[in-house]
Amino acid sequence: MSEYVKSLMTEVKAKNPSQPEFHQAVEEVVESLESVLDKHPEYRAAKILERIIEPERVIMFRVPWVNDQGEVQVNRGFRIEMNSAIGPYKGGLRFHPSVNLGILKFLAFEQVFKNSLTTLPMGGGKGGSDFDPKGKSDAEVMRFCQSFMSELFRHIGPNTDVPAGDIGVGGREIGFLFGQYKKLRNEFSGILTGKGLNWGGSLIRPEATGYGAVYFAAEMLATRNDSLEGKTCLVSGSGNVAQYTVEKLLDLGAKVTTLSDSSGYIYDEEGIDREKLAFVMELKNVRRGRIKEYAEKYLNAVYTPVDASSDHNSLWDHKADCAFPSATQNEINEKDAQNLLNNGVFVISEGANMPTTLEGVNLFLDKGILYGPAKAANAGGVAVSGLEMAQNSMRYGWTREEVDNRLQLIMKSIHTTCVTTAEKYGTPGNYVNGANIGGFIKVADSMLDQGIV
């Protein structure tokens, strides 16, 4: 670590105490950007990096609601409006008990670079609440969403800030949030993405993050004249991103052997075929059950519960070629990374945000495997959100093929940006540097153009 990175990180840690995920995200980016700052003293003079690290605005609010037993509940709501240099703030809402300011700041920070890479005009933001939708009735989720939007509506708008879904926020939640916004504003406008098809949503938006992560892996493999056909893949999570990652992997002839949730994971040596995937989708999206039930239905599969005392996650300790972490941050630590390498994994495409610790990332980079970091690999979701905004502005909807083609073109373009930028800055094959630098330059130049604001 250079003196510059060291002193910047000391300042970031002092100013943002108890936000380890935010420190981690900043450190990874700052390390990548050193060579850019050396080449462009104007960025340093205008304190571009110091300004990008500081959110333009943080909104924190009380979300009171009443449960089915008539008891008053109080949660905390957040919206981080991180950077609007290249477009309205854009990024998802996460409802999960682990949500806090530091986690949302890391996600909003990552989003700035990711959105820039998509080539679409979107700034970066993120929000959410420590509300846990698990085990809540639909009526409770609706009352919570209505209370959350009763404050958030003041801060968002189609040209200001356009949230979307993330962990714990899917079609059901977006519907309740949209309904409340429309009632409060008396206005039907595209203030959220991930909407239902009947009321302004885009085809392929639910599939986009998972499909995009697979398209990105295919692009990386193509650089070595290889493809996903016949590859064995480990996938974590079993939510939106994981489900559509599996679907696209099956389309491209790969075999998937794992899925997980926060209670444990299943290993199915025979592979998760389309029928089994349909079971998972019904289990998770309709019945809202646990992945353990997969092993109760398909007896050849083995279920392993989470072992909180273990220093690694055995999901990552199976023979495979590719891994698609699609659950949550820091789900691959250094030991997991070593296990993946020992098991022959040479392609990693991150569907989740920051799923690998810094030590794990360094191990992948040292080994020179095809490692696609989240900012690049999972940008398909926000890219199709951008396409949903474009369709809303036109009051017109594209076909499935049209949106899917655009998604593929965008993932190709992100891949090219990563490869050419990594090469230009002297680290060929390093997708982390490629993504961080490629995303940064467009935002930095826009900030220079717009003065000290």
**Residues making contact with ligand NDP (CB under 6 A):** 96, 98, 165-168, 170, 209, 237-242, 261-263, 326-328, 351-353, 378, 381
Q: How far apart are CB 293 and ligand NDP at their closest, in Å?
A: 12
How many helices (H) and strands (E) the chain has is answered by 17, 13
Beta bridge partners of 241: none
Length of the chain, in residues = 453
Q: Which of 90, 114, 126, 284 does the annotation list as catalytic?
A: 126
Distance of alpha carbon 132 from alpha carbon 433, whole angstroms = 35
Question: For residues 52 and 327, which CB has a smaller minimum distance to ligand NDP in the complex?
Answer: 327
Q: How far apart are CB 148 and ligand NDP at their closest, in Å?
A: 16
The residue whose Cβ lies closest to ligand NDP is 239
Close Cβ partners of 332 (under 8 Å, ≥ 6 residues apart): 313, 316, 323, 325, 340, 355, 356, 357, 360
Close Cβ partners of 357 (under 8 Å, ≥ 6 residues apart): 24, 330, 332, 333, 334, 337
Residue type present at position 361: V
Distance of alpha carbon 396 from alpha carbon 405, whole angstroms = 17
Neighbours of 446 (CB within 10 A): 18
Question: For residues 48 and 383, which CB has a smaller minimum distance to ligand NDP in the complex?
Answer: 383
Q: How far apart are CB 11 and ligand NDP at their closest, in Å?
A: 27
Q: How far apart are CB 160 and ligand NDP at their closest, in Å?
A: 21
Question: For residues 170 and 386, which CB has a smaller minimum distance to ligand NDP in the complex?
Answer: 170
Return the C-alpha torsion angle 303, 309, 313, 318, nearest 10: -60
Q: Is 292 part of the annotated catalytic residue set?
A: no
Question: For residues 237 and 434, which CB has a smaller minimum distance to ligand NDP in the complex?
Answer: 237
Q: How far apart are CB 61 and ligand NDP at their closest, in Å?
A: 21
Q: Are 118 and 152 in contact (CB under 8 A)?
A: no
In this structure, what DSSP letter does residue 316 have? Answer: G
Question: For residues 37 and 306, which CB has a smaller minimum distance to ligand NDP in the complex?
Answer: 306
Cα angle 215-219-225, degrees, rounded to a multiple of 5: 135
Question: For residues 157 and 171, which CB has a smaller minimum distance to ligand NDP in the complex?
Answer: 171
Q: How far apart are CB 291 and ligand NDP at their closest, in Å?
A: 7
Q: Regarding beta strands 72-83 and 57-66, do their DSSP bridges make them parallel or antiparallel, or are they unpaired?
A: antiparallel
Active site residues: 126
